[in-house]
């Protein structure tokens, strides 16, 4: 036992992101490979992969999904799951646009984040207090939000001031502001997971809730917190999309398929769906991988439906590879 602990401590100093046993490693290898393939495809097709337009495009495309996926990572790491993010994104975009039109930008941001946090709190409490499986709890909350959206809105609503729209389109050099926002949220989540007590507790609860509870972790609190953070991330994505559209839209979340797609990005990044293993770095890699795939398809002008087919195959193939690696050891 002591020996076990000793080896655990000895391992700690290696940087987690690049260690051989890091679950994030294969996704970055795949991303590197995909960048080379993308570059080759672009060159053959007469385009420029590393052109500023394409690089900016990739970042723009991945920012919203990336922000949601970072939140989803926290929920999944704690052994939970959030299927309500897509409808919450739509709701956030509408709340943001309507409040901003009336009371200004800051009030809009505040209202959106408060509502998102409340939705996350409800998700977390239903899961922990009522002991409803996360899949069903968040699906139920998603349906509730869907009903509210469909009964109150039948099209885009509200208006986002010019000053706030800049978040959606401005960039500093080749880096869009939206990508910086994503980066900031990802770094915050990374810090939370690797440098704070809460982070270690999230891994503990996701690894084995019973063991975590017996070790003195208040597991319910941890799960509720991850759901609040996940919903806040969805709210931030809704704000970003409202800034891009200039208004709120009731279908912006579901059209993007952010619920299942964010789960896909998280598991592509090597985070275990059952929780307890993985991290934010892998998720960022997973989102970028999907975005590079997208931009290659766009360059080749392949039918958008074929994209779904390839995505499905990539997802299953990647997970099969991870499973092999895990069992090979």
Partner 1 sequence: MRRNLPIFGVLTVLLVAIAIANPYFLEPQGFLAFVKRAAPLAILAAGQYFVIVSGEFDLSVGSLVTAEVVIAARLVDGDPGATWPVIALLLAFGALVGAVNGLVTTLLRVPSFIVTLGMLLILSGAVSLWTDGSPRGALSEQFRQFGRGTIGPVPWSALILGAVVAYVVWLMRADFGRTLVATGDNQTAAALSGVRVHRVKTIAFVLSGLSAAVCAILLGGFAGVSAQVGQGLEFQVITAVVLGGVVLGGGRGSVAAAIAGAFTLQALFTLLNLHGISGALEFTVQGLILIVAVALGTLQPSWRPRRRKPPALTS
Residues in contact with partner 1 by the rule CB under 8 A: 126, 130-133, 135-137, 139-148, 150-151, 260, 263-264, 267, 273-274, 303, 305-313, 315-316, 319-320, 323-324, 327
Nearer to partner 1, 19 or 323 (CB): 323
Q: How far is the CB of 198 from partner 1 (least distance, A)?
A: 26
Nearer to partner 1, 149 or 292 (CB): 149
Q: How far is the CB of 53 from partner 1 (least distance, A)?
A: 27
Nearer to partner 1, 32 or 312 (CB): 312
Q: How far is the CB of 207 from partner 1 (least distance, A)?
A: 16
Helix axes 177-195, 52-77, angle to 10 degrees: 30
Q: In angstroms, rounded to a whole number, what is the distance separating the alpha carbons of residues 57 and 271?
A: 26
Token digits of residue 4:
């076990």
Nearer to partner 1, 135 or 169 (CB): 135
Bridge partners (DSSP) of residue 158 are none
Nearer to partner 1, 195 or 326 (CB): 326
Phi, psi of 87 (to 5 degrees): -70, -30
- Computed over its alpha carbons, how large is the radius of gyration of the chain? 20
Phi, psi of 273 (to 5 degrees): -65, -25
Q: How far is the CB of 285 from partner 1 (least distance, A)?
A: 17
3-state secondary structure of 91: helix
Nearer to partner 1, 145 or 193 (CB): 145
Q: Do the Cβ atoms of 255 and 87 come closer than 8 Å?
A: no
Q: In angstroms, rounded to a whole number, what is the distance separating the alpha carbons of residues 129 and 43?
A: 56
| Summary count for the chain: helices (H), strands (E) | 15, 2
Q: In angstroms, rounded to a whole number, what is the distance separating the alpha carbons of residues 11 and 306?
A: 44
Q: In angstroms, rounded to a whole number, what is the distance separating the alpha carbons of residues 227 and 221?
A: 10
Q: How far is the CB of 95 from partner 1 (least distance, A)?
A: 17
Nearer to partner 1, 108 or 206 (CB): 206
Which of 232, 291, 238, 225 minimizes the C-alpha distance to 86? 238
Q: How far is the CB of 178 from partner 1 (least distance, A)?
A: 25
């Amino acid at each position: 036992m002591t020996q076990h602990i000793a080896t655990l401590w000895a391992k700690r100093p290696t940087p987690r992101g690049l260690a051989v046993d890091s679950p994030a490693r294969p996704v970055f290898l795949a991303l590197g490979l995909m960048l080379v393939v993308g570059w080759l495809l672009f060159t053959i097709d007469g385009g420029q992969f590393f052109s500023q337009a394409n690089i900016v495009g990739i970042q723009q495309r991945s920012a919203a999904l990336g922000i949601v996926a970072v939140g989803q990572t926290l929920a999944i790491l704690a052994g939970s799951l959030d299927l309500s993010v897509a409808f919450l994104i739509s709701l956030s975009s509408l709340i943001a646009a309507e409040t901003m039109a009336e009371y200004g930008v800051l009030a809009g941001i505040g209202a959106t984040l408060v509502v998102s946090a409340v939705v996350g709190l409800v998700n977390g409490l239903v899961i922990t207090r009522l002991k409803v499986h996360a899949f069903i709890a968040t699906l139920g909350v998603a349906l509730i939000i869907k009903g509210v959206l469909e009964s109150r809105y039948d099209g885009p609503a509200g208006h986002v001031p010019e000053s706030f729209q800049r978040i959606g389109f401005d960039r500093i050099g080749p880096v869009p502001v939206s990508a910086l926002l994503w980066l900031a949220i990802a770094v915050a989540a990374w810090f939370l997971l690797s440098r704070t007590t809460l982070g270690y507790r999230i891994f503990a609860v996701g690894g084995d809730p019973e063991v975590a509870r017996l070790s003195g972790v208040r597991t319910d609190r941890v799960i509720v917190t991850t759901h609040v953070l996940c919903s806040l991330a969805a709210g931030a994505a809704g704000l970003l999309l409202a800034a891009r559209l200039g208004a709120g839209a009731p279908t912006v979340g579901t059209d993007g398929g952010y619920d299942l797609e964010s789960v896909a990005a998280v598991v592509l990044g090597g985070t275990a769906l059952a929780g307890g293993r993985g991290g934010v770095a892998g998720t960022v890699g997973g989102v970028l991988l999907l975005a590079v795939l997208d931009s290659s398809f766009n360059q080749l002008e392949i039918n958008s439906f074929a994209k779904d087919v390839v995505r499905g195959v990539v997802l299953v193939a990647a997970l099969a590879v991870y499973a092999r690696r895990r069992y090979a050891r």
